[in-house]
Amino acid sequence: MDIIAGIRRRIRDFAHKLKYPREDFGKIGLHCKIGYDCTLVPKNMFLDDYVVIQNRVNFVSSDGKLIVKKYSVISTECIIIPGTHLAAPGIPFYFQTIAHYGDESSSIEIDEDCWVGAACVLLQKAKLGRGCVVAAGSVVTKPFPPYAVIAGVPAKIIGVKFSKEDLMRHEAAIYPPHERLTEQQVDQLFAHHYAGLKPMKKCDMAEVERFNAAAAIRNYSNA
């Protein structure tokens, strides 16, 4: 039975690679992971290195683009729609759909190191700043600043991922100096968006200290 299961798994993996070959994507970086049973429009997807799209993600697009920066994860069963149908007097929705009458497309952008929770919906004009965390089941309809924790229908800011100190430590650990947020930018973020909000609960710092982000990324890239 183990042999049969292994053969089935290899067949499934092979069929999965055939469904969305790398050359079909607008861009796909190194070490990207595309889950099973997704419905995608690869030509309109632009993925940096180290992007994960989990199982059963549905990207609905005629011309709209999905841009995902490095280290970000889109969780299972998310729906991403970078366009909308405008009202068209005299044209039924059936014909708007099949002929794309009245379509209005844009881009949905997910910056570096974001987590989009399970079963979220990202609609036209959604933009997630670096490090955003989106709670499961949220509907995102507008831009959000870096490191926001958002939730709800429609989504709104309910917290911040890190304290100021941990945010600066995180930036230093995973980004080269020219890509990091400055201390002044972080101060402005907290003053304008996160005053009075609590950071997320964090994991055991001893575990964090054992994990060397730069070394892990380097080793993974050379694997």
DSSP secondary structure of 99-149? H-TTEEE-EEEE-TT-EE-TT-EEETT-EE-TT-EE-TT-EE-SEE-TTEE
In this prediction, residue 162 has a pLDDT band, given cuts at 50, 70 and 90, of: very high
The residues, any chain, with a CB within 8 Å of residue 74's CB and separated by 6 or more, are: 52, 53, 54, 57, 68, 80, 110, 116
Closest of 138, 168, 166 to residue 151, by C-alpha: 138
Closest of 74, 62, 176, 186 to residue 122, by C-alpha: 74
User: Over 80: is that where the pLDDT of 128 sits?
Assistant: yes
Here the tokens at position 191 are 């003053």
Greatest C-alpha distance within the chain: 64
Rounded to two decimals, what is the model's pTM?
Answer: 0.87
Work out the average pLDDT over 123-137: 97
SS3 content of the chain, % helix, strand, coil (to 5): 30, 25, 45
Query: What percent of the chain clears pLDDT 90, i.e. is strictly above it?
Result: 67
Here the tokens at position 126 are 């959604």
Kindly report each contact of residues 15-22 with a partner whose C-beta sits within 8 Å and lies 24 or more positions away, as own/partner.
none
User: Over 90: is that where the pLDDT of 211 sits?
Assistant: no
**Residue 151 to residue 115: CA distance in whole angstroms:** 12
**Residue 157 to residue 194: CA distance in whole angstroms:** 9
pLDDT single digits (tens) 89-124: 888 888 888 888 778 889 999 999 999 999 999 999
Lowest mean pLDDT among 79-88, 188-197, 213-222: 213-222
Which pLDDT score, from 0 to 100, does residue 153 have?
97
Which pLDDT score, from 0 to 100, does residue 137 have?
98
In this prediction, residue 160 has a pLDDT band, given cuts at 50, 70 and 90, of: very high
Strand order in 58-59's β-sheet? 58-59, 79-81, 121-123, 139-140
91 half-sphere exposure, CB direction, 13 A CA radius: 14
User: Over 60: is that where the pLDDT of 187 sits?
Assistant: yes
In this prediction, residue 6 has a pLDDT band, given cuts at 50, 70 and 90, of: low
Which pLDDT score, from 0 to 100, does residue 88 have?
84
| Residue 10 or 40, more confident | 40
50 half-sphere exposure, CB direction, 13 A CA radius: 14
What domains appear along the chain, each with residue ranges and CATH number?
A: 25-222 (2.160.10.10)
Which pLDDT score, from 0 to 100, does residue 203 have?
74
In this prediction, residue 222 has a pLDDT band, given cuts at 50, 70 and 90, of: low
Closest of 20, 13, 56 to residue 37, by C-alpha: 56
Work out the average pLDDT over 24-40: 95
CB-based burial of residue 140 (10 Å sphere; 0-12 exposed, 13-18 middle, 19+ buried)? buried
Here the tokens at position 42 are 């690869």
